Structure 1
Amino acid sequence: MADTKVTVAPVANPAALGLVAFGLTTVLLSLINAGVLPPGGEPVVIPLALAFGGLMQIFAGAFEFRLGNTFGMTAFLSYGAFWWWFALLLLLAGNHWIDISAAGPTVGVALLLWGVLTLYLWISTFRLPKVLFLIFLTLWVTFGLLGIGAIQHHPGLSHLGGWLGLVCGSLALYASFGIITNETFGRTVVPLGAKPFLS
């Protein structure tokens, strides 16, 4: 019986899509939070958060599930849902379909809880490329600053969270750029810190 040769087709890396969707949307919102763009620009983020930041990360998370990547699945599906939550909150409250006037610190606490999720995901990045370690490090601190700023009505903390979010989003864009470029060229062109902190 002759040997049968099985050819396995290469699989695209969904992290490239998930990271650019997260990064681009995060950069735009962070520019508003940092005070670089006006607060009135928030409605511009809504369709971007739904169509790109949210939906494309959900697609990326579903593809990570097919690849058996628990970390990628959890991260992309969670942050995809975050952008849908954020956009729906603005839409529903802005159109008076829900009343959050008496919500008090609830939005700030919600941001802190997103920070808790990000903190425990960050622990796993000690075994992943260093660029992911930096993305999740800056993200959980960003959520912390934005959450405390919202609870205490402290615009300085919110602005600081915006600036750190800008760093986080830029790192995610860089990571997506690196994944795509390196896979296209078939070699490391853009360094991503592939060697993890813990092996």
Structure 2
Amino acid sequence: MSDNQQLEIESKEGPSGLTPDHPDHPVTKVQTDGDYVQFGNERYLRSELVEAFGGTLNPGLSPPPKHDFANPAPLGLSAFALTTFVLSLINCEARGVTIPNIVVGLAFFYGGAAQLVAGMFEIAVGNTFGGVALSSYGGFWGSWAAIQVDAFGIKAAYAEEPKQFANAIGIFLIGWFIFTFFMMLMTVKSTVAFFMVFFLLTITFLLLAISEFNGSTAVKKAGGVFGLLTAFTAWYNAYAGIANPQNSYITIKGVQLPDFQNRV
């Protein structure tokens, strides 16, 4: 074996001689030893670990943040909630409004940019789930807004094929349904409210995709209703992440979902 080949193998396997997907790799290995839990090379008392909580977008037990940043999750949740709220009311044809372009500004600057920034700070504090979720949905709102803006030429490309445009939007929404579904699977050990955000959002994307494929106004309105439920649940989690005894008489404690694995 040449020196170059040996170096390539070592770079893939790391100093332990194990590939990153190996269960005993020091970076990914999680061990429980009585009152202690070891994440990779670091050992923590179980009492020191941060519990799953929607207000921090933390889906399970994890080490406390190493950086002294404010909690970015409520910003991302609020940006997502308000943008979803407005669009969902339009999908429900509230007050006779059916043209969604009023949401474009929100989608670019609040649901898009502000949520993306919050996602970047989630990564900075070590919350991979929160970073992926907020950054991705920030990207969703930016891409949705681009479809509505004539300068991007997206609608114009389908000007002579309106049915094809509806199907294309449906495919776009199906992609987000799939992404949201597998993100939902990573919240099944968290809290009820945290899980409900992704559960309701999964249904919302599915209904809106179906409405694009079959042109059903009733299904679109149903998607709007589930979108409103999603928005209020996201606001609830945002409030839970901000409210504390120092600033409010009303605080929220997350209701944990049962962990059946630990009961075996």
TM-score normalised over the length of structure 2: 0.66
* Counterpart residue identity of residue 191, structure 1: K
Asked if 1:125 corresponds to 2:187, the answer is yes
Q: Is the 8 A contact 2:146 2:152 kept in 1?
A: no
* Counterpart residue identity of residue 82, structure 2: L
Q: Is the 8 A contact 2:147 2:155 kept in 1?
A: no
The alpha-carbon distance between structure 1 residues 184 and 118, as it changes in their structure 2 partners (threshold 3 A), is farther
Of 94-103 and 133-142, the range deviating more from structure 2:
94-103
Q: Is the 8 A contact 1:130 1:197 kept in 2?
A: no
Report the RMSD for the aligned CA atoms in angstroms: 2.3
- Separation in 2 of the partners of 1:145 and 1:116? 13
- Separation in 2 of the partners of 1:187 and 1:9? 28
| C-alpha deviation, 1:185, in angstroms | 4.6
Task: Give secondary structure in 2 for the equivalent of 1:182.
Answer: coil
The alpha-carbon distance between structure 1 residues 122 and 75, as it changes in their structure 2 partners (threshold 3 A), is same
Of 176-185 and 136-145, the range deviating more from structure 2:
176-185
* Counterpart residue identity of residue 253, structure 2: P
The alpha-carbon distance between structure 1 residues 184 and 88, as it changes in their structure 2 partners (threshold 3 A), is farther
* Counterpart residue identity of residue 126, structure 2: G
Which residue in the other structure is 2:257 paired with? 196
| C-alpha deviation, 1:145, in angstroms | 0.2
The equivalences for 1:126-165 within 5 A come to 126-165=188-227
Residue number among 49, 57, 68 corresponding to 2:107 in the alignment = 49
Gaps of 5+ in 2: 1-65
- Separation in 2 of the partners of 1:168 and 1:44? 20
- Separation in 2 of the partners of 1:14 and 1:76? 10
The alpha-carbon distance between structure 1 residues 93 and 31, as it changes in their structure 2 partners (threshold 3 A), is farther
Residue number among 39, 49, 60 corresponding to 2:98 in the alignment = 39
| C-alpha deviation, 1:163, in angstroms | 0.5
Gaps of 5+ in 1: 1-7
Residue number among 68, 77, 81 corresponding to 2:139 in the alignment = 81
Q: Is the 8 A contact 2:189 2:258 kept in 1?
A: yes
- Separation in 1 of the partners of 2:189 and 2:245? 21
Task: Give secondary structure in 1 for the equivalent of 2:179.
Answer: helix
The alpha-carbon distance between structure 1 residues 88 and 167, as it changes in their structure 2 partners (threshold 3 A), is same
The Cα offsets for residues 105-132 of structure 1, whole Å up to 9 and x where unpaired, read as 1101110110100000000011222211
| C-alpha deviation, 1:60, in angstroms | 0.8
Task: Give secondary structure in 2 for the equivalent of 1:39.
Answer: coil
- Separation in 2 of the partners of 1:44 and 1:183? 37
* Higher relative helix content: 1
The alpha-carbon distance between structure 1 residues 12 and 187, as it changes in their structure 2 partners (threshold 3 A), is farther
Q: What's the % identity of the aligned pairs?
A: 32
| C-alpha deviation, 1:178, in angstroms | 1.6
| C-alpha deviation, 1:94, in angstroms | 8.7
Task: Give secondary structure in 2 for the equivalent of 1:99.
Answer: helix
* Higher relative strand content: 2
Q: Is the 8 A contact 1:93 1:100 kept in 2?
A: no
Q: Is the 8 A contact 2:245 2:251 kept in 1?
A: no
| C-alpha deviation, 1:184, in angstroms | 4.8
The Cα offsets for residues 43-81 of structure 1, whole Å up to 9 and x where unpaired, read as 210001111000111011100111111110110010000
TM-score normalised over the length of structure 1: 0.87
Rg (Cα) greater in structure: 2
Asked if 1:175 corresponds to 2:234, the answer is no
**Count, aligned residues:** 190
The alpha-carbon distance between structure 1 residues 161 and 184, as it changes in their structure 2 partners (threshold 3 A), is farther
